[in-house]
Amino acid sequence: MKVCVFASSSSRIDNEYATAASTLGSLLAQAKIDVVYGGGGIGLMGSLADAVLENGGRITGVIPSFMKDEGWDHSALSEIIITSDMGERKKRMFAMADAVVALPGGIGTLEELAEAMTLKQLGLYKGPIIILNTLNFYKSFIDFLEHMVSGHFLRYEHKGMWEIAGTAGEVMTLLGKEEDWHHDPRSIARI
């Protein structure tokens, strides 16, 4: 299994977020689950990567050439894939992923999570999407998704596209759960 993890590159956030990212990286490595992520060396991305590597795991970074040129990449990854732009980066990451996990992050992480949901809604991505809600970070976003459902912008069935985890351990439990969201997502994509 290969898990795609989206996460913040900010190094100015509460340390509890970094602890959760490190714990997840350790658990993924110990479970022999390969990781693909955005290739960054700081913030939650760096914490995740360091923990995977320290625990003997395999982690692939996918990073656009301009970010590599800026020196934003992690220097010790198992593998690094350089892309021409952000769109190609996401396309490569989704193509490699059996599951997606979103850690807390900024607008880039939010955009990646929303794209994962969009692809799943259209049947173009079939794996689990797990939101790690450390310190209740995603509460407003989850409330907004509920608002979309209650306003009929999403079907009630679409709530099954994602799972919410409070801890890294819960992420691992959800990764082990058989995916059973919908056999034909396109049949309910149109509202």
The CATH number of whichever domain residue 130 belongs to comes to 3.40.50.450
In a domain, 147, yes or no: no
Confidence of residue 173 (pLDDT cuts 50, 70, 90): very high
Alpha helices in the chain (DSSP H): 15-30, 43-54, 65-69, 86-96, 107-121, 139-150, 168-175
Q: How confident is the model at residue 183 (pLDDT cuts 50, 70, 90)?
A: confident
Assigned domain for 146 exists: no
- Is 109 within a domain? yes
* Tens digit of each residue's pLDDT (9 = 90 or more) over 45-101: 999 999 999 999 999 999 999 999 999 999 999 999 999 999 999 999 999 999 999
Q: For the chain, what is the mean pLDDT?
A: 95
Number of domains within the chain? 1
| 118 in a structural domain | yes
In a domain, 45, yes or no: yes
The pLDDT, as a whole number, for residue 74 is 96
- How many C-alpha atoms does 188 have within 13 Å on its Cβ side? 17
Q: Is the pLDDT of residue 180 over 80?
A: no
Domain-embedded: residue 144 = no
pLDDT category of residue 188 using cuts at 50, 70 and 90? confident
Across 146-174, average pLDDT: 96
Q: State which residues form the domain around 64.
A: 2-139+161-182
| Residue 150 maps to a domain | no
* pLDDT at 113 (0 to 100): 98
Q: Is there a domain that residue 39 lies in?
A: yes
